[in-house]
Amino acid sequence: MPRDAGSQSGEGKTTSDGNTGALCEPDAAAEWARTLSLLRTVRAGMRDAFVFNSAFTTVADSVRTGNCTLISNAMVHKVLLNEKTNRVRGVLYVDRNTKETREIFARVVILCAQAQESTRILLNSATREYPNGLANSSGVLGHYLTAHVRSGGGNGELPAFGEKASLGGPIKPVGIYVARFRNLKGQEPTKNFLRGFGYEGESNIDFDWRAPDSAKHTRKRCASHVRDSA
């Protein structure tokens, strides 16, 4: 990951911050905490502005209409079925804080809780008429799941080659991708690996958070970006 050498200014004795791994002056711990908090806010706003995230797009737009109620900390346990009409009538969820179960009802229920969670909810929704779970007439619910698994990787640092890091620039969803090349159609199957995988990578210009006195400079940059974005 390229670093901005310009953020390495500062003099004086330094110590290691155990929480961040950054080098900072002994009395700068509180400043680092404020800086990192502000930095997370700025970077989250930048990221969500350029990469689709339902929490900051479709959900936020729906709440602004005044016709949407957002219930936080609600873990859906199962879908409720009207046995007389054979139609979904709502969901039962567990409040993560109080552990209480509650039911809410609607004319239409949209289940989109990603591969594993949607499957769990449908299996939990078994009834007398559907003992194997809802939407499971084929009997394969819970089998052949597909999801993105990020289980390994690496990173490195390179010189910035004259470029300057900026908290005001977008973090765009671009990078490199090497498509699957194992066990393709027409190839002889790999003996010790049944499926396939791809390689994904990205790079960006970032600040050297470990540089002495960098908290002070980072806080100035963050504050400037927040003022400009207000």
pLDDT level of residue 91 (50, 70, 90 thresholds): very high
- Looking at residue 137, what is its pLDDT? 92
Report the percent of the chain where pLDDT is more than 90. Answer: 31
DSSP 159: B
Q: Average pLDDT, stretch 18-38?
A: 50
CA dihedral (17, 23, 27, 32) positive or negative: negative
Higher pLDDT, 31 or 100: 100
What is the residue whose two structure tokens read 């994904």? 200
- What integer pLDDT is reported at residue 106 of this predicted model? 93
Work out the burial of residue 45: count CB atoms within 10 Å of its CB; fewer than 13 is exposed, 13-18 middle, 19 or more buried. middle
Task: Round to whole Å and give the CA distance between 16 and 22.
Answer: 6
Residue at token pair 């310009």: 6
- Phi, psi at 33, each rounded to 5°: -60, -45
> What's the confidence (pLDDT) of residue 33?
61
pTM for the model stands at: 0.49
Question: Residue 104: its pLDDT value, please?
Answer: 95
State residue 6's pLDDT score.
Answer: 36
Backbone phi, then psi, for 106, in 5-degree steps?
-160, 160
Based on C-alpha coordinates, what's the Rg of the chain?
25
Q: Indicate the domain borders of the chain.
A: 3-55+154-229
Express each pLDDT in 52-70 by its tens digit: 667 777 888 888 999 999 9
- The predicted-structure confidence for 169-213, as pLDDT tens digits, reads as follows 666 656 888 999 989 989 998 888 878 888 888 877 776 666 666
Question: How do residues 106-161 score in pLDDT, each as one tens digit?
Answer: 999 999 888 889 999 999 999 999 999 999 999 999 998 876 666 677 788 878 77
Residue with the bigger pLDDT between 226 and 107: it is 107
